[in-house]
Amino acid sequence: MKAIKGNQAAKKTAPAKAPAPVVEDKKNVLQVTVRPGVSEARQLADLATDGIATNAMTARSFLGLSQPLLSITEMVASLKDHGRRVNDNDLAAPEQMLMAQSIALNAIFAEMARRSALNLGEHLDASERYMRLALKAQGQCRATVETLAAIKNPPVVFAKQANITSGPQQVNNGGHAFSDALTPVRAHGATAIEQSKLLEGVKHGGAVLDAGTTGTAARGHQVLEAVGAVNGSKEPGRKG
């Protein structure tokens, strides 16, 4: 039996292992349905300019720590559904969101106020900072509740009528009709209204006033005497 040295031994070649399949993380890929006649680049640009894709990515980046399995494609679809409901005047989702935010802000206010009270005795600076955060949360909570109330009961605005046009227009306010040219409005079949003449045909004391005639001068003081000769010449202490 012939001995075979280790370096001369026939080595069996092990079969090469197939590379592991690359599993694509679909939750990080935005899937877009191709529209006929529109390129994929244009559709992505439309999503970006509409603010749907960018806001979905922003929300997902902040929610990624608590919700790591969120899909960007499903986030975009969810935002589209919310936008359609708002377009149909269905504000149930925004109202619920505002109510939930007001409750969360109130919880932040209570926690910051509690921490401020705990540090009030020994750490006045920390207590003041916590109280500022508490009051900011309280102010945001109040603003959120006011916004919710404005959505539920919109304010009524009373505005006067404004008529601004480029051409002639008839405005009826209070039952009186006037045109832009300030011409009198005549009813159908009515005769023309002649312009009245001032002081024409008006009787005063049985006589007709006539601005063209000259009146008779009334009798008055015709002779005037000098003031000095009447009052000042005979007074003592003055020179004549």
State yes or no: pLDDT of 147 exceeds 70: yes
Confidence at residue 221, expressed as pLDDT on a 0 to 100 scale: 55
SS (H, E, C) 99-113: HHHHHHHHHHHHHHH
Q: What is the pLDDT of residues 205-220, one digit of tens each?
A: 555 555 555 666 656 5
In the chain, where the domains are located: 28-89, 91-155
Say which residue the tokens 């009245």 belong to: 196
Neighbours of 101 (CB within 10 A): 16
Q: How many whole angstroms separate alpha carbon 65 and alpha carbon 224?
A: 114
Identify the residue whose tokens are 């505005």: 159
pLDDT level of residue 182 (50, 70, 90 thresholds): very low
> Which amino acid makes up residue 177?
A
Is the pTM here over 0.85, yes or no?
no
Q: What is the pLDDT of residue 232?
A: 52
Question: Over the stretch 56-98, which tens digit does the pLDDT of each residue have?
Answer: 888 888 887 667 778 888 888 899 999 999 999 999 999 999 9
Average pLDDT, the chain: 74
Q: At residue 132, does pLDDT exceed 70?
A: yes
Q: Are 76 and 30 in contact (CB under 8 A)?
A: yes
State residue 223's pLDDT score. 60
Q: What is the pLDDT of residues 18-54, one digit of tens each?
A: 665 554 567 777 787 788 888 888 888 888 888 888 8
DSSP string of 81-149, one letter each residue: HHHHHHHTT--HHHHHHHHHHHHHHHHHHHHHHHHHHHTTTT-HHHHHHHHHHHHHHHHHHHHHHHHHH
